[in-house]
Amino acid sequence: MSAAPPLRHPGINLGPAHPETEEKSAELLFGFWVFLMSDAIIFGLLFATYAVMLHARAGGPGPEQLYDIKSAFIETLALLSSSFTYGMASLALKYGRRHEWLIGWLVATMCLGGLFLRLEAQDFISMFHEGAGPSRSGYLSSFFALVPLHGLHVTSGIIWMLALILQIVRYGVDRDVKLGLLRLGLFWHFLDIVWVAIFSFIYLGGLA
Amino acid sequence: MSIIHVVFGRLGFNSLPFWQMLQHPTRENLVNGSIATLAACIVLVGAAAAVILITWLGKWKVLWSEWLTSVDHKRIGIMYVVIALVMLARGLIEAGIMRSQEAFALNGGYLSPEHFEQFFTTHGTIMIFFMAMPFLIGLINFVMPLQIGARDVSFPVMNSISLGLTAAGAALVMISLDIGKFSTGGWSGYPPYTEAGFNPGVGVDYWIWAVSLSSIGSMLTGINFAVTIYKKRAPGMRFMRMPLFTWTALCTSILMIFAMPPLTVATALLALDRYLGFHFFTDHFGGNYMNYVNLFWLFGHPEVYIVILPAFGIYSEVFSTFSGKTLYGYTSLVLATMAIAALSFTVWLHHFFTMGQSANINAVFGIATMLIGIPTGVKVYDWIWTMFRGRVRFTVPLIYALGFTLLFVIGGATGIILANPSIDYQVHNTQFVIAHFHNVLVPGTLFGLLAGYHFWFPKALGFRLHERWGLFSALCFILGFILAFFPLYGLGLLGYPRRTLDFFDPQYLPYMIAAFIGALIVFAGFLGLILQLLVSIRRRKEYAVPAGDPWDGRSLEWASPAPPPEYNFSVLPVVSGRDAFMLAKEQRAAYQAPGMFYDIEMPKNSAMGMAVCIGGFLAAFGLVWYMWWLVVAASLGIIAAMVGRGFVRDAERIIPAHEVERCHLRWLATVAVTRPVTRGQEATPANAGLAVLEAVE
Amino acid sequence: MSASEQDARGNRAEYARELRGYLLGYGLAIVLTLVPFGLVNWAALRQYGLYVAIGACALVQVIVHFRFFLHIDPPRQNVDDLHLILFSALLLFFMVAGTIWILASLAARLA
């Protein structure tokens, strides 16, 4: 098995088969990576706020009453699978598979992301019905800042994915589309990493 | 829910500044209402004057196509500095009014408490977010790509968007003078006072959204600058060959990237509390407002290093250039800058020693705070040693630098005093703290930025500033600062609290009067700056420096005409050492024509910056006044613009090689007919931007 | 796309290797998800043990994501990117740990 070539920047490297992306990709991806680090700080501080407010229940319900482990589990599988399907899309891009494959994997990713959001929205609605909305207590405020912020990011990612699909339809898989897909890949995997932290520390940590 | 309510939200006639005094004409309302109405009129007159001037000069098209939609870092930098100078005027006026109130405060003064509270809030908010940040970002924007031998920053359109966001925030603060009132919660906006329960009006909301817009812009700028410095340096420009100003720009950018998120979180959570009834920082239902203080200062401490590091970079350039010497201790200066940047994230608790946490925690943060003084001290020594045995010229930038050296050290020392929790318990929230931070911000940040303004103005606009008026301003600022702020140390030790509009103990009065006179002298200095600018523009042909090197500069930004062409360098320089341009001059390798010229690819103009500016302003305005339709429409507009931008394919234009050649040869022809001047003549009209090659030391 | 172009782009061995990487990453992540969910769902350990298990699985899964999905691999990674990740992690640690330390002290002293 041949040794893998040295990587030049995070995320999938398109390599010499895509020369038109070489010049700009390092700069663009590095810049996007830096942006993700600042986003990580925002999430980190919301985690810290959650930790600090976990016991600020104001006599209201806590994680034991509110979190649904089955739902969290299915959401996790959906999002994780969407990361996998995006990986497949990345491979389709890198190895020059036909556009239909690329678009197909992207659509699959969008569907799984959409499933994730739908289940999450259902969770929130059932929490509201139990009177456990964000204005009930400090603890619930911190939950509803952190988890919906992640959901908002996922939503943005889906919109971005749709925009890129439309660009492929319009322009084909040109340089700007490839660079966009590379950055979206970083974004999408980053969101899955944040979800790992959320299901571990918020959901499982709350139910343990 | 009438249609008026839906369209206008909570806007009403009572949002006008003169409404209250017409409804209830008490003495206090009349005085304060008049001041507020006067301020509102100044804003309107200023805006109208700008519109009339541009129309009269017929420059609308030029304004749009060459400035507002430009993605050129030099243009964007100049626009940032313009915003900063306008906001500096307002910030200084507010300071002067507060000082005059205090000087008359023994007899009650003339401001209402609520009005005074707005003043100290806007003063702080403006000076930090809309004066210091835009000023330093503007200078870094203009200078840094030139110093590293690049053609532009990494993300030019994002640069324009950042400018748009900052401008939108500034516009929001300005419009609050005409419609509604501003926050009374200080620039730090602590809850629960700023929660809806205690402050349901528009003031805090104005503050939240102005700060949010500006901080998102700054975060994007930080990313832009950091990636530029990492990825766009000219060949041979290794890290340890970069000028100090670029080093400080790099560390400042890293601070911006990591310090803005805590502010975004703090203000966003406060907004969630106010708008959607969350309980992050309320005083009931499990809110914890001490977390706000923690989050705010996680931002706030690195922020003060964001505003000081570029000034340190400017001083490095100024000391070496105007001593005619290589900067002393380059490596130690770089290490000190990195140390300050890293340590700045470990000291934030010193802003709330008295909040109630254990003495052990206080001690740890106190020690960390004292440690941060060490690298700064190293820098001061390096600068002094740079001057030693140099041929020092007392130009305006150096006067500011000397004032800085003497005054900043005192401010730093009082910082070390405050770093001790036991002492801080005594002087927390007194004028001692005010004196300390102005003592580091004014001689540190403001003088540095003004020095940078004088230093790089000729490069940016092609002509020097009038030296005498500059000297007048510098001396007024230095003297005025001393008179305005040193008495505050005394006041603080005598127990006078901060953010307090009046007093009944006559022993404070002499200090207050001295401080007021100092404020007037500072203001005279600012007027001197305006006069200097007007005189210089009038005499711009006399002061022109087309050859591009008025100060016998050492770094690459001086190796170009003044002003530089859009693409900065005809051929990207190859760097072989520090002080790259001075090296070239000494080796008689400067002002060469390259063997070959090539086509240069530059980004096209873009309206994205304006789109985000207008959309951001409208969305924020809608949020403040509860005009939800406006929020939705503006937000959708911004999203549509961003998605639309993704579909743009033809975003670059080519500048043909023959055009580059023509421009370059024209510059060399100018240099050929320019008489080089000695340093003794650099402040005279004989200086056309070419330096006599003096003996290599 | 012509056959020669497909050859140039579709280096079979490379493709197979990368595909295996994604499948392996996916598989590991699923296992690292099943384990903590299962342990919590069936309360298989004491609370402290559960926390440790959840934390360990989370940490390993994050590394799996970095390695197999983001292709971040210390031996091969560009030094600028590594510096960035390490610096961000350090800062995140200070901010989060500092916040928890400070607020915990306040809660203890001011409750």
* Domains of chain B, start order: 59-606+651-681 (1.20.210.10)
* Residue A5, domain member (yes or no): no
Of A102, A75, A87, nearest in space to A174 by CA: A102
Pairwise CA distance, residues B129 & B126, whole Å: 5
pLDDT computed for residue B693 by the predictor = 81
Q: Do residues C36 and C5 share a domain?
A: yes
Residue pLDDT, tens place only, B585-636: 999 999 999 999 999 999 999 999 999 999 999 999 999 999 999 999 999 9
Of B485, B394, B381, nearest in space to B440 by CA: B485
Do B361 and C110 count as a contact with CB atoms less than 8 A apart? no
> Which residue does chain C place closest to B356, by CA atoms?
C106
Residue A140 with chain B: CB contacts under 8 Å: 279
Q: Give the tokens for residue B563.
A: 């002003």
> Which residue does chain C place closest to A84, by CA atoms?
C26
Q: Do residues C53 and C83 share a domain?
A: no
- Give the ipTM: 0.95
Residue A72 with chain C: CB contacts under 8 Å: 37
Instruction: Give strand pairing partners of B681.
Output: none
Q: Are B137 and B249 a contacting pair, CB within 8 Å?
A: no
Instruction: Give strand pairing partners of A134.
Output: none
* Residue A117, domain member (yes or no): yes
Pairwise CA distance, residues B577 & B390, whole Å: 21
Q: Do residues C55 and C82 share a domain?
A: no
Task: Indicate if the pLDDT at residue C58 is higher than 70.
Answer: yes
Out of B260, B286, B647, closest to residue A53 by CB: B286
Out of C37, C81, C88, closest to residue A69 by CB: C37
Residue B518: half-sphere exposure toward Cβ, Cα within 13 Å: 22
Query: How confident is residue A18, by pLDDT bands cut at 50, 70 and 90?
Result: confident
Instruction: Give strand pairing partners of B601.
Output: B654
Number of Cβ atoms within 10 Å of the Cβ of A93: 23
Torsion-angle region of B189 (φ positive above 0: left; ψ -120 to 50: alpha; else: beta): left
pLDDT computed for residue A1 by the predictor = 37
Query: Is B652 within 8 Å of chain A by CB?
Result: no
Question: Tokens 């927390």 sit at which residue?
Answer: B428
pLDDT computed for residue C4 by the predictor = 56
Query: Is A40 within 8 Å of chain C by CB?
Result: yes
Q: Do residues C57 and C111 share a domain?
A: no
Helices (H), B277-358: 289-323, 330-343
Domain ranges, residue C107? 74-111
Report the share of chain A in percent with pLDDT over 90. 84
| Preferred mutation among A8, A27, A32, A141 to probe B, highest tally of B CBs within 10 A | A141
Instruction: Give strand pairing partners of B655.
Output: B600
| Phi, psi dihedral angles at B193 (to 5 degrees) | -60, -40
Helices (H), chain C: 3-9, 12-41, 47-64, 79-110
Size of interface A-C (CB pairs under 8 A): 139
Instruction: Give strand pairing partners of B191.
Output: none
Q: Do residues C58 and C104 share a domain?
A: no
Task: Indicate if the pLDDT at residue B82 is higher than 60.
Answer: yes
Pairwise CA distance, residues C91 & B346, whole Å: 9
Reported pTM:
0.96
> How far apart, in Å, are the Cα atoms of B531 and each of B150, B461, B473, B545?
34, 17, 10, 20
Of B583, B450, B406, B432, nearest in space to B494 by CA: B432
Task: Indicate if the pLDDT at residue B696 is higher than 80.
Answer: no
* Residue A178, domain member (yes or no): yes
- Comparing A92-106, B121-135, B186-200, the range with the smallest average pLDDT is A92-106
Do A44 and C19 count as a contact with CB atoms less than 8 A apart? no
Query: Is B264 within 8 Å of chain A by CB?
Result: yes
Task: Indicate if the pLDDT at residue A15 is higher than 80.
Answer: no
Q: Do residues C44 and C96 share a domain?
A: no
Q: Do residues C38 and C63 share a domain?
A: yes
Q: Give the tokens for residue B45.
A: 């007159």
The minimum CA-CA distance between B255 and chain A, rounded to whole Å, is 11
Per-window interface: A 79-138 vs C, CB < 8 A: 80-81, 83-84, 87-88, 91, 94-96, 98
> For B285, which DSSP code?
T
pLDDT computed for residue B389 by the predictor = 94
Amino acid at B569: F
Average pLDDT over residues B136-162: 98
Q: Do residues C62 and C96 share a domain?
A: no
Do B286 and A56 count as a contact with CB atoms less than 8 A apart? yes
Average pLDDT over residues B481-504: 96
pLDDT computed for residue A26 by the predictor = 86
Number of Cβ atoms within 10 Å of the Cβ of B425: 11
> Which residue does chain B place closest to C89, by CA atoms?
B258
The minimum CA-CA distance between A1 and chain B, rounded to whole Å, is 33
Per-window interface: C 43-62 vs A, CB < 8 A: 47, 50-51, 54-55, 57-58, 61-62
| Phi, psi dihedral angles at B652 (to 5 degrees) | -125, 155
Task: Indicate if the pLDDT at residue C2 is higher than 80.
Answer: no
What helix, strand, coil percent values describe chain B, rounded to 5?
70, 0, 30
* Residue A14, domain member (yes or no): no
Vertex B209 angle, CA B6 and B12, to 5°: 35
Task: Indicate if the pLDDT at residue B280 is higher than 70.
Answer: yes
Do A80 and C99 count as a contact with CB atoms less than 8 A apart? no
Residue pLDDT, tens place only, A74-126: 999 999 999 999 999 999 999 877 889 999 999 999 999 999 999 999 999 99
pLDDT computed for residue B163 by the predictor = 98
Average pLDDT over residues C3-15: 66
> Which residue does chain A place closest to B220, by CA atoms?
A35
Q: Which residues contact B524 (CB under 8 A, 6 or more apart)?
A: B476, B480
Question: Tokens 């016998």 sit at which residue?
Answer: B552
| Preferred mutation among B361, B362, B365 to probe C, highest tally of C CBs within 10 A | B361
- Kindly list the partner chains of chain B, i.e. chains with 3 or more CB atom pairs below 8 Å: A, C
> Which residue does chain C place closest to A187, by CA atoms?
C70
Q: Do residues C64 and C91 share a domain?
A: no
Query: Is A35 within 8 Å of chain C by CB?
Result: no
How many structural domains compose chain C? 2
Please report, for the domain that includes residue A154, its CATH number.
Answer: 1.20.120.80
pLDDT computed for residue A10 by the predictor = 65
Q: Do residues C29 and C60 share a domain?
A: yes
| Preferred mutation among A80, A194, A201 to probe C, highest tally of C CBs within 10 A | A80
pLDDT computed for residue C78 by the predictor = 74
pLDDT computed for residue C8 by the predictor = 53
Residue A39 with chain B: CB contacts under 8 Å: 261
Pairwise CA distance, residues B475 & B403, whole Å: 9
Task: Indicate if the pLDDT at residue A186 is higher than 80.
Answer: yes
Domain ranges, residue A140? 23-50+69-207
Residue pLDDT, tens place only, B394-421: 999 999 999 999 999 999 999 999 999 9
Residue B282 with chain A: CB contacts under 8 Å: 138
How many structural domains compose chain A? 1
Task: Indicate if the pLDDT at residue B386 is higher than 50.
Answer: yes
pLDDT computed for residue A5 by the predictor = 53
Amino acid at B645: R
Q: Do residues C62 and C9 share a domain?
A: yes
Q: Do residues C109 and C85 share a domain?
A: yes
pLDDT computed for residue A2 by the predictor = 40
Mean pLDDT of chain B: 96
Query: Exposed (0-12), middle (13-18) or buried (19+): which is C55, by Cβ within 10 Å?
Result: middle
